[in-house]
Amino acid sequence: MPSNKSVSDAPIVQFTNCRILRSHQLQREDLWVREGKILNPEKLFFDEKGSADIQLDCKDSIIAPGFIDVQINGGFGVDFSLATDDFKSGLDLVSQKILSHGVTSFCPTLVTSPPSVYHQVLPQISIRNGGAHGAGILGAHLEGPFISKEKKGAHPEHCLRTFEAGAFQDLLATYGSLDCVRIVTLAPEMKRSSEVIRELTKQGICVSLGHSVANLSQAEEAVQHGATFITHLFNAMLPFHHRDPGIVGLLTSDKIPAGRRVFYGMISDGIHTNPAALRIAHRAHPKGLVLVTDAIAGMGLAPGRHTLGQQVVEIDGLNTYIAGTKTLSGSVATMDTCVRHFQEATGCSVETALEAASLHPAQLLGIEHKKGTLNYDSDADFLMLNDDLYVQATYIAGEEVWRQDALGM
C-alpha cells in the first residue's frame, strides 16, 4: 500500500449537493473521488487528515453508476458485424457517441456472420478502459451463429451453424479466437451444446441463451452447465406456454443451482416488448433484469436503409425491420431512453430503473466490485441525471467526458 502522503498528493474532488445511488437507495451524501476511484471520506478524514482539493456543486442532481450496455450492434452508421478497413475508427466513434447516453462501458455485439468476418473483426476489438476517448470496452458479445433456424430473427440463415463432433473446436474454428470475447449467445437445444457451455464457462465467458426453441428443461440444463443470461427475453424464443414455459420459465424456475442468479436482457424501447410483458418479467424476477439497447448502425441516424451484418434493414420511426419484411432487427433506442421507458412502463422506483442498466449488467459479468455501483474503491464511472432521468453529465474514472451544453454549469 502506498503511504498516506503519496496517496494524498493526488487531487481529491468532492461532489456536493447531490443524491447518490448507493445500496439501492438515493442518499443525500457527497461523493468523493481520487485517482479514478470512489473514496471513503471517513478514511480520508480520520486516517489521512485530508480534505477536498476541489468542490463541485451538483445542483441537486442524481448521481448514479454509469450504464453498461452488454448488447449493442453498432450505431451512428457503424456496424460491428461488418469487416471494414476502418473498423477500429468506427468502434471508437460509437464508444465516443454513447457517452451522451450515459453508457460508460459496453460489449460490442456481432450478429451471425461468416467465419471470415469473425476472423477479421475480433482481433480488432481489445478490452480497454473508458475515458475522454469513449466508453470502456468489456469484450465482444457474439450472438450466433450457433442458434436456431426457426428463431433466427434478423440473422442470415445461410450463416447459421450447428455443433459437429468436436463441438468446442467448431466454435473456436468459427470465431478464430476467444481472447476478447465476453458473452456468447447460443441455442441450448442444439446437440452437444452442454459441452460447449461448460467449456466457455470454464474460460470465464458468459453464456447466454437466445434465438432458440428450447423447452424449459433444456434451458434449465444449460443453466446447470453454467449459462447465466437470456438474450432479449421474449424476442426470438418460443412464446410462454403454461404447460411448458420455455426459456421464459427460467425466471421462476426452482431448478437454478443454489447461489446462482439467471439474468435476462430486455429491449425496453416500447417496440420489442409490450409494456405488460415488461411488467410481467420485472415482477417475476426483478433482480435479474438487464436493460440492453440491441442498437444497430441506424441508431442516431435518420430513417432509411442501413445494415445489420449481412442484412439490409429499414428504419421507420422507432421500428427497424429487415428490408421488405416485418421482421424486427435490433433497435435504434439509446440506453437512457430505455431506462426512462422501463421506469414509466413498470412504475418501478428510480433506483430500480438505474440499477437495471448499471448494477445488474455488472453482476452478470462479475465486475460489480469495480463497476455498476458507487461503493468505496470502485471505479468512478458515474452520471449526473435530473429527476426525469435525463443525463446531464457523464464521468469516467472521475473525469468529466460529456456534458449537456445547455446546463450552463
Q: Is there a binding annotation on residue 243?
A: yes
Q: What is the pLDDT of residue 1?
A: 38
50 has pLDDT over 90: no
Q: Read off the pLDDT of residues 216-271 as tens digits, 9 standing for 90 and up.
A: 999 999 999 999 999 999 999 999 999 999 999 999 999 999 999 999 999 999 99
pTM greater than 0.85 (yes/no): yes
Whole-number Å distance between alpha carbons of 344 and 338:
10
Q: What is the pLDDT of residue 48?
A: 76
Q: Read off the pLDDT of residues 137-173 as tens digits, 9 standing for 90 and up.
A: 999 999 999 999 999 999 999 999 999 889 999 999 9
Residue with cell 450457433: 146
Question: What is the share, in percent, of the chain residues with pLDDT greater than 70?
Answer: 97
User: What's the farthest any 2 CA atoms get from each other in the chain?
Assistant: 67
Q: Is there a binding annotation on residue 328?
A: yes
Give me the architecture of the 13-64+373-403 domain, per CATH. Answer: Roll (2.30)
Whole-number Å distance between alpha carbons of 139 and 203:
13
B/e letters for 84-98, b = 16+ CB within 10 Å, e = fewer, are eeebeebbebbbbbb
Extract the C-alpha cell encoding 317.
420511426
* Residue ranges covered by each domain of the chain: 13-64+373-403, 66-365
2 has pLDDT over 60: no
**CA distance readout (Å), 320 to 166, 315, 336:** 37, 4, 19
Q: Read off the pLDDT of residues 265-298 as tens digits, 9 standing for 90 and up.
A: 999 999 999 999 999 999 999 999 999 999 999 9
- The whole-chain average pLDDT of the chain stands at 94
Q: Read off the pLDDT of residues 62-84 as tens digits, 9 standing for 90 and up.
A: 999 999 999 999 999 999 999 99
If one counts every other C-beta atom within 10 angstroms of the C-beta of residue 133, the result is 14
408 has pLDDT over 60: no
Q: Read off the pLDDT of residues 341-382 as tens digits, 9 standing for 90 and up.
A: 999 999 999 999 999 999 999 999 999 999 999 999 999 999
Q: What is the pLDDT of residue 5?
A: 41
Q: What is the pLDDT of residue 355?
A: 98
Q: Is there a binding annotation on residue 236?
A: yes
Question: What is the share, in percent, of the chain residues with pLDDT greater than 90?
Answer: 91
201 has pLDDT over 90: yes
User: Quick check: do 13-64+373-403 and 66-365 share a fold?
Assistant: no
User: Which residue is catalytic, options 69, 79, 269, 294?
Assistant: 294
Q: Is there a binding annotation on residue 330?
A: yes
Q: Is there a binding annotation on residue 220?
A: no
Whole-number Å distance between alpha carbons of 380 and 395:
7
Q: Read off the pLDDT of residues 320-337 as tens digits, 9 standing for 90 and up.
A: 999 999 999 999 999 999
Domain 66-365 has CATH 3.20.20.140: yes
Q: What is the pLDDT of residue 317?
A: 84
Reply yes or no on whether 388 is catalytic: no
Instruction: Label the pairing between strands 12-22 and 31-34.
Output: antiparallel
